[in-house]
């Protein structure tokens, strides 16, 4: 009958498809992680284990979704870049976003115990996600540079803020103290007041985490008469490097190939 006619029911369905032949970036972000970090007593401003857990989940996402070519993560967020010609879920935005977000969230819960041996997961974490298309390599690189600049600015601010708070200032005093300060002044404050050389803080805190595949020669197969395909193997690497500079992309041309 009319009421259950599949075409009639389907006519209400709106599926937004991502623009063809463009890089798709799915950015996920922890929901209310300010609270989640407090409840789980994450170190401030950076918790090595919590960031490590995010990285493990991102590696699992990269392994699961073969069209992902690059991941960049900082704080409670991760960006996943899908190759330009990806046909994953016929490029339907809601399908891609929801599949990646739910996979990442499940991984976060599954791998929690591997990272936090003695810390109990007190409530289920959740993530939101969005999809954006970038039409050229240059604009995609600008997007990733924007995230890494954000990482740097936030990390520098947070390092100063929490150093001031740990030294006895109230949160609002620390906030006022830092208002309008430039990057150089923040580095000077860290060095003079707290003996911290910003440039020696862990790279993961300052640069965020980049995850991608590298092809390398398999040394055990080289001597044998293996075919050239067998001689190279693909490895997933997690690096904390400068992705703003062009030299990174020149050193890894296969990522955006
Ligand atoms: P949202 O994303 O609007 O649901 O709200 P939040 O609270 O997740 O805010 P967001 O994403 O802008 O900022 C990330 C929060 O996550 C930030 O307030 C502090 C927390 N967070 C992320 N990484 C760490 C960490 O390593 N240590 C600590 N203590 N907190 C962290
Ligand atoms: Mg958010
Ligand atoms: Mg968040
Ligand atoms: Mg965030
Ligand atoms: Mg189904």
- Total domains, the chain: 1
* Inside any domain, residue 5: no
Query: Can you list the positions of beta strands (E) in the chain?
Result: 23-30, 68-74, 77-82, 127-134, 209-217, 232-239
pLDDT band at 5 (very low <50, low <70, confident <90, very high): confident
* Alpha carbon distance 178, 186 (integer Å): 8
Query: Probe ligand 1: pick from 29, 54, 75, max atoms within 8 Å of CB?
Result: 75
Q: What is the CATH number of the domain that holds 106?
A: 3.30.70.3000
* Inside any domain, residue 8: no
* pLDDT greater than 80 at residue 126: yes
pLDDT band at 1 (very low <50, low <70, confident <90, very high): low
* Inside any domain, residue 116: yes
* Inside any domain, residue 4: no
pLDDT band at 227 (very low <50, low <70, confident <90, very high): low
Residue-wise burial string across 14-39, b where 16 or more C-beta atoms lie within 10 A, e elsewhere: eeeebeeebbbbbbbebeebeebbee
pLDDT band at 226 (very low <50, low <70, confident <90, very high): low
Mean pLDDT for all residues in the chain: 95
Tens of pLDDT, residues 10-23: 889 888 999 999 99
Tens of pLDDT, residues 31-85: 999 999 999 999 999 999 999 999 999 999 999 999 999 999 999 999 999 999 9
Burial (CB < 10 A; 0-12, 13-18, 19+), residue 108, is buried
What is the span of the domain harbouring residue 175? 18-251
**In the prediction, which pLDDT does 46 show?**
98
pLDDT band at 229 (very low <50, low <70, confident <90, very high): low
* Inside any domain, residue 143: yes
State the distance from the centre of ligand 4 to the C-alpha of 63, rounded, in angstroms. Answer: 23
Nearest ligand, measured from the Cα of 36: 1
* Inside any domain, residue 13: no
* Inside any domain, residue 6: no
User: What number does the ligand 1 atom closest to the CA of 44 have?
Assistant: 29
Q: Which residues have CB less than 5 Å away from ligand 4 (the ion)?
A: 29, 75-77
Tell me which long-range contacts 43-49 makes (C-beta under 8 A, separation of at least 24): 44/158, 44/162, 45/155, 45/158, 45/159, 45/161, 45/162, 45/205, 46/155, 46/158, 46/202, 46/204, 46/205, 48/202, 48/204, 49/115, 49/116
Tens of pLDDT, residues 81-105: 999 999 999 999 999 999 999 999 9
| Whether the complex's predicted ipTM surpasses the cut of 0.95 | yes
User: What number does the ligand 1 atom closest to the CA of 35 have?
Assistant: 7
**Cβ < 6 A, ligand 1 pocket:** 29-34, 37, 42-44, 46-47, 50-51, 75-76
**In the prediction, which pLDDT does 221 show?**
65
The angle formed by the CA atoms of residues 174, 161 and 42, to the nearest 5 degrees, is: 130
**In the prediction, which pLDDT does 220 show?**
72
* Inside any domain, residue 164: yes
* pLDDT greater than 90 at residue 9: no
């Amino acid at each position: 009958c009319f009421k259950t006619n599949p075409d009639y029911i389907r006519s209400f369905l709106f599926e937004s498809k991502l623009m063809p032949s463009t890089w798709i970036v799915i950015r996920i972000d922890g929901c209310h992680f300010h609270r989640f970090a407090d409840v789980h007593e994450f170190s401030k401003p950076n918790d090595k284990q919590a960031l490590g857990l995010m990285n493990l989940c991102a590696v699992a996402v990269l392994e699961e979704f073969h069209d992902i070519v690059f991941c960049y993560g900082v704080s409670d967020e991760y960006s996943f870049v899908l190759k330009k010609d990806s046909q994953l879920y016929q490029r339907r935005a809601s399908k891609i976003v929801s599949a990646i977000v739910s996979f990442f969230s499940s991984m976060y819960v599954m791998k929690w115990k591997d990272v936090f041996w003695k810390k109990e997961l007190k409530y289920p974490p959740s993530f939101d996600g969005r999809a954006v298309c970038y039409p050229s390599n240059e604009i995609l690189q600008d997007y990733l540079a924007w995230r890494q600049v954000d990482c740097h600015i936030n990390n520098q601010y947070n390092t100063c803020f929490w150093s001031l708070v740990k030294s006895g200032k109230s949160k609002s005093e620390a906030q006022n103290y830092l208002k309008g300060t430039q990057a150089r002044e923040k580095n000077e404050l860290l060095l003079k007041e707290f003996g911290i050389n910003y440039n020696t803080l862990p790279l993961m805190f300052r640069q965020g985490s980049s995850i991608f595949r590298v092809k390398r020669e398999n040394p055990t197969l080289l001597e044998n008469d293996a075919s050239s395909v067998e001689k190279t193997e693909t490895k997933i690497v997690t690096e904390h490097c400068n992705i703003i500079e062009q030299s990174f992309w020149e050193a890894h041309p296969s990522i955006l190939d």
